Amino acid sequence: MIVYRCEDSLESIFTAIYLAYEEKRNHAETMLSLSDDPILFAEDVPVVSCTDKVLKVIKTLKRRFGEDDYKELCMALASEDMEKAQAVYRTVADGLARNCDRGHLFDNLTNDYVHKAFALARNAGRECAHLQGFVRFQELENRVLYSKIGPKNNMVTFLMPHFADRLPLENFVIYDERRNFFGIHPAGRQWYLLRGEEAGEPSELQVSEEEKAYQELFRQFCRTIAIKERKNLTLQRNMLPLRFQEYMVEFQQKP
């Protein structure tokens, strides 16, 4: 048994996949692990990310499986599950071995690894779709829009293109509280990501008076739009889980 020890990043996992193929491993006897837990009778191989190899893997994945399935694989890798590296690796191996058509990577759901990767991608994709709606921006005094989120999966990378397309002329920041991770979009320019350690401590955030007024207007709108004869808080919670509600203005009390 060979175990590639990766970091929790797309680069590291794709490098490991490249290595597994370069060294002609038997896929059934090979594992990608994100943890350091020792495995009995296994040979550990540490993985050092290498940009060239990552780019080659991305190119192959896109060529063989198509753009959509490549995105699904990235979604699966954004999950917080520790088994994701192994699931994605074996899904890719299965797809290449079956010589599957583009867009048909996840057809073979009877395979446990394919199903695992599929489930992870579906879960992350759902959270991404949720957050596209549930992200709330606050306007700070310097007119920068600022949003704080705490998603289960690593979503900032997927949210940034959506909001950059939507608000091209705004300066906005999305801050992932759980991973200490910033997505930054300067008005009219390309967005980028920043790790919290590099950004330094954020100073106390000041929101403008106008911002408070709009928050109150929206709260009032949400209160009024509900039909009291149809009140159904369970349904509301099913559609909008509590873990999102804590970041949303309409569920916060007036300060």
Q: Which residues form the interface with other proteins (CB under 8 A)?
A: 98, 104, 107-110, 115, 129, 132-139, 145, 147, 162-163, 165-170, 214, 216-218, 220-236, 238-240, 248-250
Tokens read off for 245: 């509600």
DSSP string covering 125-182: HHHHHHHHHH---EEBTTS-EEEEE--SS--HHHHHHHHHHH-TTS-EEEEETTTTEE
Beta bridge partner(s), residue 30: 2
> What is the spatial distance between Cα 112 and Cα 218, in angstroms, rounded to a whole number?
46
Closer residue to other proteins in complex, CB, 4/163:
163
Give the containing element (helix H, strand E) for 44: strand 43-46
Q: How far is the CB of 15 from other proteins (least distance, A)?
A: 29
Q: How far is the CB of 45 from other proteins (least distance, A)?
A: 31
With b for 16 or more beta-carbon neighbours within 10 A and e for fewer, the 11-22 pattern comes to: bbbbbbbbbbbe
> What is the spatial distance between Cα 252 and Cα 255, in angstroms, rounded to a whole number?
8
Q: Is 203 helix (H, G, I), strand (E, B) or coil?
A: coil
Closer residue to other proteins in complex, CB, 24/231:
231
Q: How far is the CB of 167 from other proteins (least distance, A)?
A: 6
Give the containing element (helix H, strand E) for 31: strand 30-33
Q: How far is the CB of 46 from other proteins (least distance, A)?
A: 34
> What is the spatial distance between Cα 179 and Cα 224, in angstroms, rounded to a whole number?
36
Closer residue to other proteins in complex, CB, 12/215:
215
Q: How far is the CB of 227 from other proteins (least distance, A)?
A: 5
Closer residue to other proteins in complex, CB, 74/105:
105
Closer residue to other proteins in complex, CB, 22/221:
221
Contacts of 244 (CB under 8 A, 6+ apart): 130, 131, 134
What's the CA angle centered on 11, arms 7 and 16, to 5 degrees? 70
Closer residue to other proteins in complex, CB, 137/181:
137
Q: How far is the CB of 31 from other proteins (least distance, A)?
A: 22
Closer residue to other proteins in complex, CB, 35/232:
232
Q: How far is the CB of 33 from other proteins (least distance, A)?
A: 24
